[in-house]
Amino acid sequence: MNTLKITKIVALVTFSFFVSSAFAEAPATPSSINPNDHAAWATYYEDFAKEVSGKLEINQQKLKDYEDHPYYYGRAGQDLKSHLQANIREYKKELAAGLQEAELHRKIAAVQQDLPFNNAEVNIGAVTAQ
């Protein structure tokens, strides 16, 4: 009887693990940007970094307000403080990653602009492309 209960619990936990991982969110990337347009990607990541920077500033201000007046928040204040500190850490990571991606795409775009285009004709069967 106990082994049947344990088996059911293990099966339920395993199933819930697979279901929850199926609904995990992946970061949304715009499909409207051409994968080879690195200038557009750099602009996208710079805008993303500006958005994250705004969220970071808001959370830092909330944390400062909490630290200035912790007695306003009562017992839930410690949870709020931990939550804000965790958000700040994550936003700093996202900001650094976004700026790094923007810089990388700016460098790739600069290299692509310096490359000369090949204007040679290509004969493919009966079609001539230039």
When pLDDT is cut at 50, 70 and 90, the band that residue 19 belongs to is: low
Domain membership of residue 4 (yes or no) is no
Domain membership of residue 111 (yes or no) is yes
* Residues spanned by the domain of 90: 36-115
When pLDDT is cut at 50, 70 and 90, the band that residue 7 belongs to is: confident
Domain membership of residue 30 (yes or no) is no
Domain membership of residue 127 (yes or no) is no
Domain membership of residue 48 (yes or no) is yes
Q: How far is CA 5 from the centre of its chain?
A: 41
Tell me how many domains the chain contains. 1
Domain membership of residue 102 (yes or no) is yes
The confidence score (pLDDT) of residue 26 equals: 42
Domain membership of residue 104 (yes or no) is yes
SS3 assignment, position 129: strand
What pTM was computed for the model? 0.64
Residue with tokens 């936990």: 13
Q: CB neighbours of 22 closer than 8 A, spacing ≥ 6?
A: none
Instruction: Determine contact, residues 48/103, Cβ cutoff 8 Å.
Output: no
Residue with tokens 């830092």: 60
Q: How far is CA 9 from the centre of its chain?
A: 35
Distance CA 33, CA 45 (A): 12
Tens digit of each residue's pLDDT (9 = 90 or more) over 64-119: 999 999 998 888 888 999 999 999 999 999 999 999 999 999 999 988 888 766 55
Q: What is the DSSP letter of 33?
A: S
Distance CA 99, CA 95 (A): 6
- Residue 46 host element (H or E): helix 38-68
Structure tokens at 1: 């009887």
